[in-house]
Amino acid sequence: MVWGIENSRELYGLKGVLNNQLFDINEKGELVVKIKGKTLSIAELLKKRGLPGANIRILPWIGEMIDYIAGLFLKNIRENNYRGEFRPVYPLKVNHHELVLRSIKRYGGKYSWGWEAGTLPELYEALSIKTKGLLVIDGVKDFRGLKRVIENKEAYGEAIIDIESIREAELLEEIREQLGDKIWVGFRIRPMFRGESIWSSSSGLSSKFGLPLSSIYKIIEKQPWIKDKIIMLHFHYGSQIVTKDALKKMFTEMINTYTVLKEKYLPNLRYIDTGGGLAFDYESTLSGSSYSPDYTFREYVEIMVKTFKEHAEEQGILPPDIVFESGRAIVAPHRISVAKVIDIRPYISELGTEIELIEKIQSSKTIKELSEIARESENIINRLLSFTENIDLKRRELLEGMIKTIYEEIAGKAKEIYLMDKDNALKDLAENARTGRPLYRFLTSPSKRYVLSFSLFNVLPDYVILNQYFQIVPCSMLDKRPDVLATISDITCDSMGEISEFISKLPEGFDDIFTEEDNRLLGIPGKRIILRGIPLHLPGKNEDYYVAFLHTGAYQDPLAMGHNMLEEYPEIIIDENNDGELIIRYEDNVKDYYPR
Ligand SMILES: *Cc1c(COP(=O)(O)O)cnc(C)c1O
């Protein structure tokens, strides 16, 4: 079997609709980014300055995402004769990095992209970056903030102040005279349907956010003047809504609420703000798991437009203008985080020793037989590990050595059996994976620990906070079969600074399924499985080996933590000038914190 870059494209998930647009592997086996018809090698970008790692920010990609998503909406609206408009806003919460906001304004200008602000600093920032778009003012308000909105009418096309409580409705009474020309009011609705995402506590009857219907009636009753000022209903079901089924339910709830309120109480309603929730496929598998939706961007838009159109027609009303408020999908791809491998350590100790079990492993002929022995082996290992309380050094060394040898022998044997009779072995391996038998645990376990020069707390905080999955791809050697499964450790002194999950979804017919060196599994063709180590290469001596984490552009900048004093990380900014030529700028004169 010869490993080629096509195998790496499959293994590392570079073939999905989006990744295929953004990434490739060059003939040297290096990961490259595709920007404006050019390709740049990530490893080269870092080696040029001998960097320990960096966040690479590709600003033209923000433009590509904006064009892509806006294009889907405009096409759908046109083709369906949808008689409402597309009014996008960017929620500053997702990433308020100066370059990100500047790029949204630059690339979103032709679609009148506006802002959604959920706090006073976000509101002030939004007012300072003027656009012709909508300004949605969300979150807990006070009078100072409202005054700023009134004083800065040139900063937006139209401002909508969301109210979320009776207190906020009363707050508006003081500026009642100012409302209705350029400044309007919206109701943030507390959705009934819970969005089935890890963030779905943003919705449901006990949610922190939004008005229950009963409060809406109360507000209208107490302050009847407000009826005419309300032009928008604002919904947000949580970030990362991953199933089509949930989308249908939430869009249906939105349009039903809209039609009822418009007919009975709020004649001037025009907008539905659909909130965030457009899920980003962090696995590139479209699997419907927490980090991978079961739908594409195109399907999201189609389901929304179709649901709104059908319900509005049934009720005989004009369909609403659509305020699109997702930020994650727009900015996630633009940042790639890269870190250099600075040490490779054994996962378990290096010593080996012979025991009877090894002979049994060696004499097994099928995966089924091996699977039985793996079960026995796991019991033996568990028993060995239960005696470790008063263990002396010598015994501990022996014990570690025995365990490591058992792992090595089982994995080596599994690969040998597979190479002799692939079809049958594959069937048995798939069965092992399905039932999670001990053999499967052996074959998907790491044998190495790679230390990378970065802080997970600083670069991928959501990994630490919610175990968020990010795709991991080596930046070089992609023309070679991965050598080992390894965990990735950062340089913080914290046991949480370690990654040990890799989602593998090899296509049917992919038959090169074992690592080169430690004989671990790379995947089961046709199945999505989770490996407990990341497939990586053993670089030559003095060879720089970098590892990239993809799609880190949403939320990671604002949430970055300064654990262990690791507060800064080099940046490489890739921008374009007005003629469309690429400009590469290094912001790497940060404090020299990172081992090289
Ligand atoms: C967080 C948030 C968003 C962004 O949602 P994503 O799905 O992460 O893009 C949009 N609207 C509101 C009100 C939010 O709180």
Between the alpha carbon of residue 385 and those of residues 379, 403, 447, the distances in Å are 10, 9, 18
Q: What is the mean pLDDT of residues 489-505?
A: 94
For the chain, the domain total comes to: 3
pLDDT of residue 99: 98
Do residues 455 and 566 lie in contact, with contact meaning Cβ atoms separated by under 8 Å? yes
> Do 248 and 387 share a domain, yes or no?
no
> Do 306 and 169 share a domain, yes or no?
yes
Domain assignment of residue 398, yes or no: yes
pLDDT of residue 351: 39
Task: Tell me the one-letter amino acid at 345.
Answer: R
d(CA 169, CA 163): 6
Residue 524 pLDDT class (50, 70, 90 cuts)? very high
Domain boundary among 425, 444, 463: 444
Q: Quote the ligand 1 centre to 84 CA distance (angstroms).
A: 22
Domain assignment of residue 115, yes or no: yes
Which tens digits make up the pLDDT trace of 555-586?
A: 999 999 999 999 899 999 999 999 999 999 99
> Do 390 and 470 share a domain, yes or no?
no
Residue 384 has pLDDT above 80, yes or no: no
Is ligand 1 within 6 A of the CB of residue 236? yes
Residue 497 has pLDDT above 80, yes or no: yes
Domain assignment of residue 65, yes or no: no
Is ligand 1 within 6 A of the CB of residue 553? no
Percentage above 70 pLDDT, the chain: 96
Domain boundary among 444, 465, 488: 444
Structural domain boundaries enclosing 477:
1-58+334-347+445-596
From 87, 116, 555, the mutation candidate for ligand 1 (largest count of ligand atoms within 8 A of CB) is: 116
Domain boundary among 411, 444, 477: 444
3-state helix, strand, coil in the chain (%, to 5): 40, 20, 40
> Do 315 and 359 share a domain, yes or no?
no
Is ligand 1 within 6 A of the CB of residue 262? no
Is ligand 1 within 6 A of the CB of residue 293? no
Domain assignment of residue 66, yes or no: no
Nearest CA to ligand 1 atom 4: 276
pLDDT of residue 284: 96
Nearest CA to ligand 1 atom 10: 276
Which tens digits make up the pLDDT trace of 438-447?
A: 999 999 999 9
Residue 353 pLDDT class (50, 70, 90 cuts)? very low
pLDDT of residue 224: 92
Please tell me whether the overall predicted TM-score, pTM, comes out greater than 0.85 for this model: yes
Between the alpha carbon of residue 447 and those of residues 30, 136, 170, 412, 485, the distances in Å are 24, 51, 63, 13, 6
Domain assignment of residue 275, yes or no: yes
Residue 355 pLDDT class (50, 70, 90 cuts)? low
Atom of ligand 1 nearest to the CA of 234: 13
DSSP per residue over 350-375, as a string? S-----HHHHHHHH--SHHHHHHHHH
Q: Count Cβ neighbours within 10 Å for each residue of 495-515 and write b for 16 or more, e otherwise.
A: eebbbbebbbbbeeebebbbb
> Do 140 and 172 share a domain, yes or no?
yes
Task: Strand 31-35: give its sheet, edge to edge.
Answer: 23-25, 31-35, 38-41
Task: Tell me the one-letter amino acid at 83.
Answer: R
Residue 338: which CATH number?
A: 2.40.37.10
Q: Quote the ligand 1 centre to 94 CA distance (angstroms).
A: 7
Domain assignment of residue 72, yes or no: no
Which tens digits make up the pLDDT trace of 223-269?
A: 999 999 999 999 999 999 999 999 999 999 999 999 999 998 999 99
Which tens digits make up the pLDDT trace of 454-465?
A: 999 999 999 999
Residue 385 pLDDT class (50, 70, 90 cuts)? confident
Percentage above 90 pLDDT, the chain: 81
pLDDT of residue 349: 47
> Do 186 and 269 share a domain, yes or no?
yes
> Do 581 and 440 share a domain, yes or no?
no
Domain assignment of residue 271, yes or no: yes
pLDDT of residue 593: 87
What rounded mean pLDDT belongs to the chain? Answer: 93
Is ligand 1 within 6 A of the CB of residue 468? no
> Do 471 and 377 share a domain, yes or no?
no
Nearest CA to ligand 1 atom 3: 276
* Tokens linked to 26: 């060059």
> Do 411 and 535 share a domain, yes or no?
no
Residue 113: which CATH number?
A: 3.20.20.10
> Do 246 and 376 share a domain, yes or no?
no
Residue 195 pLDDT class (50, 70, 90 cuts)? low
Is ligand 1 within 6 A of the CB of residue 328? yes
Domain assignment of residue 416, yes or no: yes
Which tens digits make up the pLDDT trace of 107-146?
A: 999 999 999 999 999 999 999 999 999 999 999 999 999 9
pLDDT of residue 174: 87
> Do 282 and 192 share a domain, yes or no?
yes
**Contacting residues for 42 by C-beta, under 8 A, at least 6 apart:** 30, 31, 32, 33, 56, 336, 338, 475, 546, 548
> Do 98 and 247 share a domain, yes or no?
yes
